[in-house]
Amino acid sequence: MSKVYITDTLTKEKVPLEPIEPGIVKMYVCGPTVYNYIHIGNARPMVVFDAFRRFLEFIGYKVVMVQNFTDIDDKIINEAKEWGVDWKTVADTFIAEYFHDAHLLGVRAANFHPRTTDFVDDIVNAVQKIIKNGYGYVAANGDVYFSVRKLADYGKLSGKNPDDLRAGARVDVNELKRDPIDFVLWKSAKPGEPTWQSPWCAGRPGWHIECSVMSQKLLGDMFDIHGGGEDLIFPHHEDEIAQSEALTGKPPAKYWMHNGMIIVRGDKMSKSLGNTFLLREAVRRYGKDGVKLFLLSKHYRSPIEFSDDLLDDNSKAALRVHAALNRFREKYPYPLVPKEDEEMKGMIQRFTEALSDDFNTPVALSVIFDALRELNKSMDSGNDERALKMYHLIKRVFGPILGIFDTESPKKSESSAVSTNLDVLIKSLIEVRNEFRKAKQFELADKIRNVLSESGVKLFDTPEGTKYEIIEQERKMEG
Ligand SMILES: [Zn+2]
């Protein structure tokens, strides 16, 4: 088994992956809060950690992967109120929609997908133990808080210092807390909210405790890799470390891996900022492999600047690969397994070396595009044997490791025809608006902008001309 190196967020160093139990990698990745459709920012950790898991399996590891669903939360409760249904209906709906999207994207299910509300008894027991061990206290209203100052090295993952946090928290003093930086383990319910029984009050778990409890339950006191988006480093993962240390005296994971954010004009893509682009819309417009190439073409720790142009470029690159694979399949409907020669071995080695070096997918993808060039060249020159080798590498070795090019090439569907028409329509309206602006008829130009905006199409005037984005539509039920 070749050595794999990853960047550990805790030590900030590239370190060899040495699983606690040789040959088995146990991995916990924080999943979504299920109150809406997932967007392309949510999809990044899904794609990155799915591909990382496939790679570890390819080089011979057994991987046990857990990804949770946060199925109780203020946002779920608010959504339920708005719909006039109970919280569980909202959670069930968006868990089902999550699996629909994961399937569209070719992201495999984890071994376990625990839901917070299935573990409330275990969470109550853990909170009791944290109190007993001297790290938690019950506030006047029945809330339970974690006493951050009891841990000498709180802040080690995020590099945040409790004194600085306390200074920053001064404006938001909560009288129930002994210290403004303490965080909630169990919270009392407001009237009308769903509740679970506990020794302190009827209420529900705080956010961070669920991951500590579910990871411990399913993977043990200490597992190998804890993953997630870098926006979770603080406070979520910092607080998970605090809770685990209070419970077991040990951090929950040996290594921490975090993916970078999708950036939209300087901000991270997030539902609360209203700048999201829904995953299924992205797949509809750019294809599964276009979206996956977009997400894997940058190193997982780097941010990706969201742009239609970048998605479009990746979509075209994916179509080039599919065109070559289809061309080969038309000529050879029953391709056999080629005998591995030095050239193939060399390419597989370059591919796996790139992924072993902190999961460098951009370099691994460059090997796929080298193989694509050679596939086309070999078909042009009639070198069938070599063409089969390159086909085999792309379709059966590299593609499945990254979860790309493993399905048949996309056919032009009705929906993509609609999407093309929509693109033409919006671009024509932009042209008309620009004509009005040139003629200084600003009122009419603004009218076009407003009509588009009301339909969820936002215009951006850039030095290269006017660009547009389809922004997430509010999905509110009438009445
Ligand atoms: Zn989590």
* Closest of 210, 237, 208, 219 to residue 66, by C-alpha: 219
Helix 120-132 / helix 207-219 crossing angle, nearest 10 deg: 100
Q: How far is the CA of 185 from the centre of ligand 1 (A)?
A: 14
Q: How far is 200 from 88, CA to CA, in rounded Å?
A: 24
Q: How far is the CA of 116 from the centre of ligand 1 (A)?
A: 10
100 assigned ligand-binding residue: no
- How many CB atoms are closer than 10 A to CB 307? 15
299 assigned ligand-binding residue: no
Domains, the chain: 20-273 (3.40.50.620), 307-402 (1.20.120.640), 414-470 (no CATH)
> Bridge partners of 256?
226
Q: How far is the CA of 322 from the centre of ligand 1 (A)?
A: 37
Q: State the greatest distance between any 2 C-alpha atoms of the chain, in Å, as a whole number.
A: 80
Q: How far is the CA of 280 from the centre of ligand 1 (A)?
A: 24
Q: How far is 38 from 26, CA to CA, in rounded Å?
A: 25
Whether the pLDDT of residue 209 is over 70: the answer is yes
Q: How far is the CA of 444 from the centre of ligand 1 (A)?
A: 49
3-state DSSP assignment of residue 87:
helix
CA dihedral in degrees (410, 415, 418, 422; nearest 10)?
Answer: -80
Q: How far is the CA of 414 from the centre of ligand 1 (A)?
A: 39
Q: Is 329 exposed, middle or buried (0-12, 13-18, 19+ CB in 10 A)?
A: middle
* Closest of 277, 318, 284 to residue 44, by C-alpha: 277
Whether the pLDDT of residue 409 is over 90: the answer is no
In this prediction, residue 420 carries a pLDDT of 64
Identify the band that residue 173 occupies on the pLDDT scale cut at 50, 70 and 90: low
Q: Which residue has the higher pLDDT, 369 or 419?
A: 369
Identify the band that residue 413 occupies on the pLDDT scale cut at 50, 70 and 90: very low
Q: How far is the CA of 225 from the centre of ligand 1 (A)?
A: 13
Q: What is the mean pLDDT of residues 299-308?
A: 96
Angle at 15 between CA 155 and CA 148, to 5 degrees: 10
Q: How far is the CA of 149 from the centre of ligand 1 (A)?
A: 22
* Closest of 222, 218, 229, 220 to residue 31, by C-alpha: 229
Q: How far is the CA of 269 from the centre of ligand 1 (A)?
A: 18
Whether the pLDDT of residue 249 is over 60: the answer is yes
Q: How far is the CA of 114 from the centre of ligand 1 (A)?
A: 11
Q: How far is the CA of 454 from the centre of ligand 1 (A)?
A: 35
Share above pLDDT 70 across residues of the chain, in percent, rounded to a whole number: 94
Return the structure tokens found at 346: 């060399």
Whether the pLDDT of residue 432 is over 50: the answer is yes
Q: How far is 213 from 323, CA to CA, in rounded Å?
A: 48
In this prediction, residue 169 carries a pLDDT of 64
Q: How far is the CA of 28 from the centre of ligand 1 (A)?
A: 8
Q: How far is the CA of 30 from the centre of ligand 1 (A)?
A: 4
Q: How far is the CA of 236 from the centre of ligand 1 (A)?
A: 7
Whether the pLDDT of residue 182 is over 50: the answer is yes
Whether the pLDDT of residue 170 is over 70: the answer is no
In this prediction, residue 172 carries a pLDDT of 56
Q: How far is the CA of 219 from the centre of ligand 1 (A)?
A: 14
* Closest of 469, 98, 69, 113 to residue 307, by C-alpha: 469
In this prediction, residue 204 carries a pLDDT of 97
The overall average pLDDT reported for the chain is 92
Dihedrals phi, psi of 272, to nearest 5 degrees? -70, -25
In this prediction, residue 466 carries a pLDDT of 85
Q: How far is the CA of 415 from the centre of ligand 1 (A)?
A: 35
Share above pLDDT 90 across residues of the chain, in percent, rounded to a whole number: 82
In this prediction, residue 475 carries a pLDDT of 39
In this prediction, residue 194 carries a pLDDT of 95
- How many CB atoms are closer than 10 A to CB 381? 10
Q: How far is the CA of 363 from the centre of ligand 1 (A)?
A: 30
Q: How far is the CA of 60 from the centre of ligand 1 (A)?
A: 27
In this prediction, residue 419 carries a pLDDT of 60
Comparing 41-55, 166-180, 383-397, the range with the smallest average pLDDT is 166-180
Q: How far is 5 from 51, CA to CA, in rounded Å?
A: 15
Q: How far is the CA of 220 from the centre of ligand 1 (A)?
A: 16
Q: How far is 423 from 440, CA to CA, in rounded Å?
A: 26
Q: How many CA atoms lie within 13 A of 357 on its CB side?
A: 11
Q: How far is 154 from 162, CA to CA, in rounded Å?
A: 7
Identify the band that residue 272 occupies on the pLDDT scale cut at 50, 70 and 90: confident
Q: How far is the CA of 215 from the centre of ligand 1 (A)?
A: 9
201 assigned ligand-binding residue: no
Q: What digits encode the pLDDT tens for the residues 44-81?
A: 999 999 999 999 999 999 999 999 999 999 999 999 99
